[in-house]
Amino acid sequence: THARAHLPAAGAAAMDVAESPDLQAQLAAAVHALNHASHPSARLAANQWLLGLQRSPHAWALAVSLLASADHPSPSADLLFFAAQMLRRKIQSPDYSLPDNAAQLLDALLVAARRFCLAPPRLLTQICLALAALALRAEGGVDGLFARMPHLPDPALLELLTVLPEEVAQDESGDTGVDSATRCRFARELLMHAPAVLEFLLAQSEKPAAADGVPLHERNHRILRCLLSWVRAGCFSGAPASALAAHPLLTFAFNSLQAFFSFEVAIEVMTELVSQYQELPQAFLSKMPYIREVLLLPALANRSEKIIAGLTSLMCEVGQAAPGLVAEGSNEALSLSDALLRSIYCTANVMCSFF
C-alpha cells in the first residue's frame, strides 16, 4: 500500500497491527474522546489509553500509516495531529530508540509535510518539529534533510527551516537524551547551510502576492519568524557590519515595521540583531528620525500600546548596545533620546489611567 511503502523498518508484525482497522478505529475514538468528551473521566481514560499506545512498538508504523493514508474520507484533523505529535514525542524521548532505518522515517515525514503544506498550521508544525528532532538525533540527519528539502513546497520548507534552529534550544530544556556535544555539532551543521537559507528567505520576500496560495501578510510573517530563528542561531556570524547593515533581509524586516500584522516579529528580529552585533546600532541610529516621525509619533497620537511598547524596546536596546554613540549628541542620537522619552512619558500616562 501507499502507507506501507513509506513505513520505517519496524517488522512485518508491527506493520500489520498498525494497519489493523480495529486499532485505527480505537485510536480515532480515543482521540475524539480526549478532545471532545464532556466527562473528565472519559478524557482521563482516553489519555491513559493513548499513552499506552505511544509506548507500544507499533506506534511508529501506526502514526506514519495515518499520515500517509489515502483513505476516503481521510482521517480527522485531530487524529492526524495526534499521529504527528506522537512521532515527535517518540523521537524526542530518551525512552525510545529510533527505528533501524531512520532514513525511511525521514522520507515518510517529508511526504507528510508535502501533503499537508496548506493544512491547518498546527499539523504542519508538528510534522516539521518531528523532522527537526529526527535531524538532531539521526546520523547525518542535517545533511540528509537539506538534501531532500528541494522537493518540499515553499510553505512546508519555510516552516521546517523555522523550527530547525529552535530544536537546539528546545532540546536543552528537558531530558531528551542528547548531549551537549551532539547539540553543538547540530548547530554547526545547520550554520553551514545558513547562506542557502538566507537566499531562500530573500527569494520568498520578493515573491508576488499569493504566489503559493498563502496570503502576502501571512507569508511575510512566516519569513520573519524563520529569519528570527536563524538570527538567534547566529546566521550572520562573521559578516562585516557594513554588509549586515545593508543586507536586504534587514531592510525587509525594517519595512515590516509598517505592517501591523508583522510588527512584533520584525521588532524581535531587529532587537536580536542589535543585541548580537555591536557595530549594528550605528545603522539603526541613522533610522531614528524616520522611526520617530513615521512610526512613533502616530502611535503616540493613537495610543497604540503595541507599537509604542515595541519601538520602546528596540530603542532601549540600541541605547544599551551603543551608549557611546548616544553620548556623542548627534542629531540621530538626540532623535533617539527624544523618541524614547516621549514613549516612556506616554506609557506612564497610560499606566496612570488605570489607577
Task: Give the Cα separation of 51 and 243 in Å (integer).
Answer: 51
271 belongs to a structural domain: no
Q: Which of 15-24, 195-204, 206-215 has the highest mean pLDDT?
A: 195-204
Segments forming the whole domain that contains residue 58: 24-153
Give 346's pLDDT tier (boundaries 50, 70, 90).
Answer: low
Number of Cβ atoms within 10 Å of the Cβ of 237: 10
Give 245's pLDDT tier (boundaries 50, 70, 90).
Answer: confident
216 belongs to a structural domain: no
353 belongs to a structural domain: no
Quick check: 14 pLDDT over 80? no
Cα 49 to Cα 16, 34, 56, 84, distances in angstroms: 20, 10, 11, 17
Domain count of the fold of the chain: 1
Q: Percent of the chain beyond pLDDT 70?
A: 81
Give 94's pLDDT tier (boundaries 50, 70, 90).
Answer: confident
Task: Give the Cα separation of 274 and 295 in Å (integer).
Answer: 19
346 belongs to a structural domain: no
What pLDDT shows up at residue 36? 92
45 belongs to a structural domain: yes
240 belongs to a structural domain: no
What pLDDT shows up at residue 294? 87
28 belongs to a structural domain: yes
85 belongs to a structural domain: yes
Name the pTM for this structure. 0.84
**Region of residue 11 (phi > 0: left; psi between -120 and 50: alpha; otherwise: beta):** left
Who wins on pLDDT, 128 or 288? 128
Per residue in 250-260, pLDDT tens? 999 999 999 98
DSSP 68-88: T---SSPPPHHHHHHHHHHHH
